[in-house]
Amino acid sequence: MPQTLKLAVSQSRTLSTLSATLEALKATTQHAAREGVDLILFPEAYLGGYPRTCDFGIAVGARSAGGRDQFLHYFRDSVDLGDTPRGAGDEWVDRELEVGKGKEYRGDGTREFLERVARETGVFVVTGLVEKSGGSLYCSVVYVCPRLGCIGKRRKVMPTGAERMIWAQGSPSTLRAVTTTIKGVNLTMASAICWENYMPLLRYSLYSQNVNLYLAPTADARDTWLPLMRTVGCESRAFVLSANQCVKRKHLPDWITGKKNTTAVSDTGSTLASAAPRSHGRRRSTLTVTEENHELVLPTADGQAEDGDNSLTKKLSQIAIADGSDSSSSDEEYVCTGGSCIVGPLGEVLKEPLWNVEDGLHIVDADFDDCERGRLDLDVAGSYSRNDVFHLEVDGLDLDPPQ
């Protein structure tokens, strides 16, 4: 039986409301379904938003009232999946948690919306989101199966830099891989969020579970990200999907841009606010679809990215305009340039990073037999591990491959 699936990464940006972003996710997933996609990955914090450039009024030993108001806005924009602060795990997945009297379900309905999109399109959806539980926020990823609904969720265990001001640490138990079967292909997938991929022991905890699909939603648009993804592909002998947002300053929420910060530096290394836009030279690209339906990522003649004139781009633009997030501001500076990519099990680049394209979709045909072919000479958690000498234990996490 063929072991080939169509995998996709969506370079999508958060819109100004959760409802508009959910509608954009739905439109993108419907488009992916028409292209025959079996599984799609959306970026880190896609639902709820990545509050790029915002300092929340925090300095060492000081907090501002304005910063507290910003956190209130951000908290309200985040997603309630009905989970508990400790993370209920299988109880949450299996809907065993108590539902309040008079309520149809726990949470704000986002889980149910995602499950409906997956079910109606037949596409397995994995998306990053900002999850609120109790009084805290978590950077999370949810796995949504067309047949079974949500089969797993994990929370980022180590927020990066200034993220630690606003996101709580997730439990290492959520690093547990999930399994599913799509078109006869057995998948074991797990997610490392953004700079968790720079944590060698965390990566190894995923490799130990024998993953063949490694998901890396991110907010990192550095040039160093692609080499990291190639390393992950080579180490894991798995297909690697990485999705990031491409965002201009005018797309940031009003509660961020209303208070200018002229000295902020993003967690991905670019100086923000009054700094001149960075020139990426060769990194500027446009997505082109040929008559043979092949996708090409090509540099543009003037160094500026172009949006393809296709139905998906038009649909998403309509959603953004209807939601009021299409600003007339002249501030066209990119605060995040994207870089979504796909890497194969030998570390080969299957889809080059997509730069300066606000709504892009990368699709590949992935032959999962290539994962086993790659194990001929490298299985870092098995034959190549010297597990008689080196040992890794993670509190609360079973490292044995899931069934």
338: pLDDT strictly greater than 70: yes
Tell whether 390 is covered by a domain.
Answer: no
Mean pLDDT, the chain, rounded, equals 87
Task: Assess contact for 335 and 247: CB atoms under 8 A.
Answer: yes
Q: What is the mean pLDDT of residues 381-394?
A: 89
Radius of gyration of the chain (CA): 20
* SS3 (DSSP) at 258: coil
Respond yes or no: is residue 156 known to be catalytic: yes
Tell whether 398 is covered by a domain.
Answer: no
80: pLDDT strictly greater than 60: yes
Q: What is the mean pLDDT of residues 89-110?
A: 91
Distance CA 190, CA 44 (A): 14
Q: What is the mean pLDDT of residues 258-281?
A: 40
In the set 23, 26, 44, 235, the catalytic residue is 44
Respond yes or no: is residue 44 known to be catalytic: yes
Distance CA 194, CA 50 (A): 12
Distance CA 200, CA 397 (A): 16
328: pLDDT strictly greater than 70: no
Instruction: Identify the H or E element spanning 180.
Output: strand 178-182
* SS3 (DSSP) at 176: coil
219: pLDDT strictly greater than 90: yes
Distance CA 341, CA 244 (A): 9
Q: What is the mean pLDDT of residues 208-216?
A: 97
Tell whether 350 is covered by a domain.
Answer: yes
254: pLDDT strictly greater than 70: yes
17: pLDDT strictly greater than 60: yes
Tell whether 389 is covered by a domain.
Answer: no
Secondary structure (H, E, C), 324-356: CCCCCCCCCCEEEEEEEEEECCCCCEEEEEEEC
Alpha-helical segments (H) within 180-219: 200-207
Q: What is the pLDDT of residue 258?
A: 86
Domain that includes residue 343, residue range:
4-374
> Confidence class of residue 262 from pLDDT cuts 50, 70 and 90?
very low
Tell whether 394 is covered by a domain.
Answer: no
Tell whether 345 is covered by a domain.
Answer: yes
Please count the structural domains in the chain: 1
281: pLDDT strictly greater than 50: no
111: pLDDT strictly greater than 70: yes
Task: Assess contact for 239 and 7: CB atoms under 8 A.
Answer: yes
Respond yes or no: is residue 234 known to be catalytic: no
Q: What is the pLDDT of residue 300?
A: 52
Tokens (6 digits) for 104: 């149809």
Distance CA 238, CA 252 (A): 35
In the set 54, 139, 145, 194, the catalytic residue is 194
Q: What is the pLDDT of residue 286?
A: 54
Q: What is the pLDDT of residue 308?
A: 43
Could you tell me which residue, 112 or 264, shows the higher pLDDT? 112
> Confidence class of residue 165 from pLDDT cuts 50, 70 and 90?
very high
Q: What is the pLDDT of residue 102?
A: 86
58: pLDDT strictly greater than 60: yes
Q: For a pLDDT cut of 90, what percent of the chain falls above it?
A: 74
Q: What is the pLDDT of residue 159?
A: 96
Q: What is the pLDDT of residue 1?
A: 80
272: pLDDT strictly greater than 90: no
295: pLDDT strictly greater than 50: yes
> Confidence class of residue 304 from pLDDT cuts 50, 70 and 90?
very low
Distance CA 313, CA 310 (A): 6
Could you tell me which residue, 342 or 265, shows the higher pLDDT? 342
274: pLDDT strictly greater than 50: no
Q: What is the pLDDT of residue 376?
A: 94
282: pLDDT strictly greater than 80: no
In the set 156, 248, 315, 351, the catalytic residue is 156
Tell whether 388 is covered by a domain.
Answer: no
340: pLDDT strictly greater than 80: yes
Q: For a pLDDT cut of 70, what percent of the chain falls above it?
A: 83
CATH number of residue 83's parent domain: 3.60.110.10
Tell whether 335 is covered by a domain.
Answer: yes
